[in-house]
Structure 1
Amino acid sequence: MSEDKADVVVLGAGIVGVSTAYAARQRGMSVVLIDRREPGSETSYGNAGIISSGSITPLNNPSLWKSLPKYLTNRHPALRWNPLWAVQNASWVARFLADTAASRFRPRATALHGLIGASAKLHRAWIVKAEAGHRIRETGWLKAWRSDAAAAARQEQALLAEYGIASELLDRQAISALEPDIVPVYKVGLLHTQTASVDSPGAVVKAYARMFASAGGDVRQSDIKEIVPEGDHWRVLLTAGEISARHVVVALGPWSAEILRPLGYRVPLAFERGYHREFKPNPARSLQRPIYDIDGGFIVTPMEQGIRVTSGVELTGRDAPSSFAQLDQVVPLARGVVEFGDAIGETWRGSRPTLPDSLPMIGPAPRHAGLWLAFGNQHIGFTTGPATGAAIAAMISGTPAPYDVTPFAPARYI
């Protein structure tokens, strides 16, 4: 195959890569989007499908220390961790815990609020333009506690209000009125009213990819061997041939660090592995919105094919053998809330890329002109993908990003 040329090559066709490709194409650039699989087939496929307005609290926030004793038992459904991985990645763990400092909380929450707000607006516009508007539900999502956690719910509500994010505090009766078909196990709920959800995140990413292609973008399926700087351009080496481009965007999610290693970058990337299993729905017992069971450590979501139950976080190697212990632990809890039937298909596993400060990398690589990094969006990748891509496209074209990207600069780590 002869060499191709493009203004921009985007590596990775998850929500971040597809969004970047489309945003760059909107600005008139010639863009090639490359992935080894079809768009939306990896981590972007298996999430809970939430476009969350209120996910501004990083995992490593000051309250984490109160939860550490139960997490250290390695039996809590919200978090499992591999001891060998923890030893081998002690530096990452230390950085992650250091960022729980109170002084580090507000700047990161503010940064995430800007990213999430811009992204939610783009999602709502793009999903209609991509002819996938039937997939979005403007029903909010419900964070629910089995315990008497009204104080915690009020504290979260107050934080959200500071950022102009609306929510409603609910008691048991109000939760039953909101979701009359679930078992009334929850004492307290916080309804995020400005949050939306979709019935198939993978299908939404595919719709965005079709929108990109319809706008003149080039979608290719190939393994990516290497990226090589050559003067003021880049050579992207594929299994068959290569592409020359002025700009390369690395949006490979959990595979991003390894393609950057030959260029001298050591990215402190960890992986929040997660699992889901889908079940046949009970037509007589419907679910109107995703529910995040705080005490149970799982999310249950109505999807196109049925009810999806997603597990908490598993900290281990990206390619370590699957462990279904968390999911097996929470499925009975979910059945105690929502009535559903037998499992549909196989259990899914994905790896969500996470940096120690729980903020993504969005911006230029510090030592290579024309190399752009867009990954590390952790467990809110589906929410934040569009604005991540829009910011990269803006920076490539030399115009301001739609929000402050300074906190996401790759140079803070590499």
Structure 2
Amino acid sequence: MTRTAFVLGAGMVGVSCALSLQKRGFAVTLIDRREPGQETSYGNAGVLARSSIVPLNNPGLYGKITSYLGNRHPALNLDWSRALTRPGWLLRFLWEARASKAAARIAALESLTGSTVERHRALMAEAGVSHRLRETGTLKLWRTEAGHAAAQAEHDFLKAHGIAAQVLDRQGISGVEPALKPIFHAGLLCLENASVDSPGAVTQAYAELFRQRSGRIEKADAQRLERGASGWRVATAQGGFEADIAVVALGPWSMDLLAPLGIDPKLDVERGYHRHFKAEPGARLSRPVYDVDAAYFMAPMEEGYRVTSGVDLSRRDAPDNHRQIDQVTVSAQEAFPLEDGFATTWRGARPTLPDSLPMIGEAPRHPGLWLAFGNQHLGFSTGPITGEIVAALVCGETPPVDPTPFAPGRYIG
């Protein structure tokens, strides 16, 4: 008899879970209130980040805290009223940044990012969207002389982890991206990263691949999750769905369904913004660039040049705060000939846990309820391997990487 599953959330992580379970013979229903790839998986910089193996809250965070406190730096905006409602979470986030925890968390992230380009390359070929993949790396940039030492240190760190990168001076930067203005002293070309020209369209293509393989996609707003007679049931405004197992991959909305079950995964939210611009005639970028000092990504996209902001630690559904995106818009125009004017400002939310690692596995005390969220800034990169970990664990197979660092039991009793 065919086993059944429903996956809640049609972002990159949820779609990947659906594909991996489907591959193992499950009849899968993918459920989301919006079309696939239209929430967090739409708004990112489109980077397949092989080199992103250092958690956001790493030991270097401690030295930067004072520069963030006044909410003037573009890298961070902190709503203090929100922070004070969950002081324990913020303290745990800072506690996890201590040096003694760094090596284990770096190893865990590396296990997720190591195959990201390979896995996406294969899925894009299957989905017929290989033309969206750019294997041109990413470029990290520094505006001051101090950037030379920083670029060399990061190069050496990545080399120690088997990740190729190239340190560039002003001339080298102009050689790979001649349209950038000569304001950067140092750069690091991360050769093993890749990118796509529309992360939302790639997610949609993977969802269409799932549909073509007899997967079921339902546009429905999940309202209540509960144990059923022989598995799990989710109630939606469009009706109920039942299956042997349930996978919650709703990113920053996951806690809305889990809280009534008495599950507190210690999940919180980082918000972020982007804007699209046109470049002046003749100007182009061949890869996403990250301006370290001004804290923004600028990535060539199907819609134009996408400029993304830093982290906004405000309540998930609070009104927009455009301070950061306004700041980085000015900085991006200093660096690259973007035309004035943009159509809209997009805002999204990312799911984050105190240790900056995702939660992947079966919920304690809730057999058949599987959790796949908290991928923070790396969900687009690590969605495919997350799906494979979940499906392997469900089927009693050996996962492609050690799932222990991501076990829900580290936060859920």
Instruction: State the TM bucket, normalised to the shorter chain.
Output: over 0.9
Corresponding position of 2:288: 290
| Aligned pair partner of 1:23 in 9, 20, 25 | 20
Structure 1, 370-379 or 266-275: larger mean CA deviation: 266-275
Q: Give the counterpart letter for 1:215 in structure 2.
A: R
Match for 2:83 among 78, 86, 106? 86
Q: Report how far residue 154 of structure 1 moved.
A: 1.8
Unmatched 5+ stretches in structure 1? none
State which of 318, 321, 335 in structure 2 corresponds to 1:320: 318
Q: Secondary structure of 1:341's match?
A: coil
Match of 2:193 in 1: 195
Q: CA deviation at 1:13?
A: 0.2
Q: Unaligned 5+ residue runs, structure 2? A: none
Query: In the alignment, which of 66, 88, 110 is matched to residue 107 of structure 2?
Result: 110
> Given the alignment of the two structures, is residue 272 of structure 1 paired with residue 280 of structure 2, yes or no?
no
1:120–1:384 Cα contact (<8 Å) kept: no
Bigger Cα displacement from structure 2, 228-237 vs 376-385: 228-237
Partner of residue 249 from structure 1, selected from 243, 247, 253? 247
Q: Which residue of 2 is the match for residue 65 of structure 1?
A: 62
Which letter does structure 1 place at the counterpart of 2:272?
A: G
Q: Give the letter for the 2:354 counterpart.
A: P
Whole-angstrom distance in 1 between the partners of 2:223 and 2:82: 27
With over 3 angstroms needed to count, the CA separation of the structure-2 counterparts of 1:155 and 1:232, relative to structure 1, is farther
Distance 1:350 1:343 in 2: 21
Task: Report the secondary structure of 2:278's partner residue.
Answer: strand
User: SS in structure 2 opposite 1:113?
Assistant: helix
| Equivalent residue for 2:206, pick from 202, 205, 208 | 208
Shift of 1:68: 1.0
Indicate if the aligned counterparts of 1:6 and 1:243 stay in contact, CA closer than 8 A. Answer: no
User: 1:142-161 counterparts in 2 under 5 A?
Assistant: 142-148=139-145, 149-161=147-159
* Matching residue's letter, 1:260: L
Mean CA deviation greater in 101-110 or 153-162 = 153-162
Map 1:119-158 to 2 at 5 A. 119-148=116-145, 149-158=147-156
Number of matched pairs: 410
Residue in 2 aligned with 1:221? Answer: 219
Q: In the alignment, which residue of structure 1 is the partner of 2:32? A: 35
Amino acid at match of 2:104: P
Query: Does residue 384 of the first structure (1) align with residue 382 of the second (2)?
Result: yes
Q: Which residue of 2 aligns with 1:174?
A: 172
Aligned pair partner of 1:54 in 45, 51, 54: 51
Could you tell me which amino acid in structure 1 is paired with residue 306 of structure 2?
R
Tell me how far apart the structure 2 counterparts of residues 279 and 410 of structure 1 sit (CA, whole Å): 40
- Equivalent residue in structure 1 for 2:97, among 80, 88, 100: 100
What amino acid is aligned across from residue 302 of structure 1 in structure 2?
Answer: P
* Distance in 1 separating the partners of 2:36 and 2:139: 29
1:81–1:315 CA contact under 8 A, matched in 2: yes
Q: What is the aligned-residue RMSD (CA, Å)?
A: 1.2
Q: 1:340 is paired with a residue of what secondary structure?
A: coil
Q: Distance in 2 between matches of 1:25 and 1:344?
A: 40
Aligned to 1:304: 302
Partner Cα separation in structure 1 for residue 331 and residue 396 of structure 2: 50
* Local SS of the residue matching 1:369: coil
CA deviation profile, 1:82-137 (whole Å, cap 9, x unmatched): 11111112111100110111110010000000011133321111011111111110
The residue type paired with residue 309 of structure 1 is V
Partner of 1:403, secondary structure, is: coil
Verify the 8 A CA contact 1:272 1:379 in the aligned structure 2: no
CA–CA separation in structure 1 for the residues paired with 2:224 and 2:340: 44
The one-letter amino acid of 2:211's match is A
CA distance in 2, matches of 1:165, 1:82: 36
**Normalising to structure 1: TM-score of the pair?**
0.97
Matched letter for residue 42 of structure 1: E
Question: Residue 169 of structure 1 aligns to a residue in which SS?
Answer: strand
Displacement of 1:63: 0.7
Measured in 2, the distance between the counterparts of 1:119 and 1:178 equals: 24
Find the residue that maps to 2:174 and give its secondary structure: helix
**Could you tell me how far apart the structure 2 residues matched to 1:344 and 1:200 are?**
18
- Return the letter of the residue paired with 1:155: A
Equivalent AA in structure 2 for residue 93 of structure 1: L
CA separation in 2, counterparts of 1:186 and 1:405? Answer: 40
Q: Amino acid of the residue matched to residue 161 of structure 2?
A: Y
Shift of 1:344: 4.1
- 1:223 deviation in Å? 1.0
Give the Å deviation of 1:6: 6.2
Q: Work out which of the residue numbers 72, 77, 83 in structure 2 matches 1:75.
A: 72
Aligned to 1:44: 41
CA separation in 1, counterparts of 2:133 and 2:260? 41
Shift of 1:299: 0.6
User: 1:184-233 CA deviation, whole Å, 9 max, x = no partner?
Assistant: 11111111100000000000000000011111111110111211113441
Match of 2:403 in 1: 405
Shift of 1:283: 3.7
Superposed displacement of residue 152, structure 1? 1.8
CA distance in 2, matches of 1:138, 1:348: 26
> Could you tell me how far 1:241 is from its partner in structure 2?
2.4
Looking at structure 1, the residues matched to 303 and 164 of structure 2 have their Cα atoms a distance apart, in angstroms, of 30
Shift of 1:351: 0.5
Which sits farther off after the overlay, 335-344 or 36-45? 335-344
- 1:384 to partner: Cα distance: 0.9
Which amino acid letter does the alignment assign opposite residue 319 of structure 1?
D
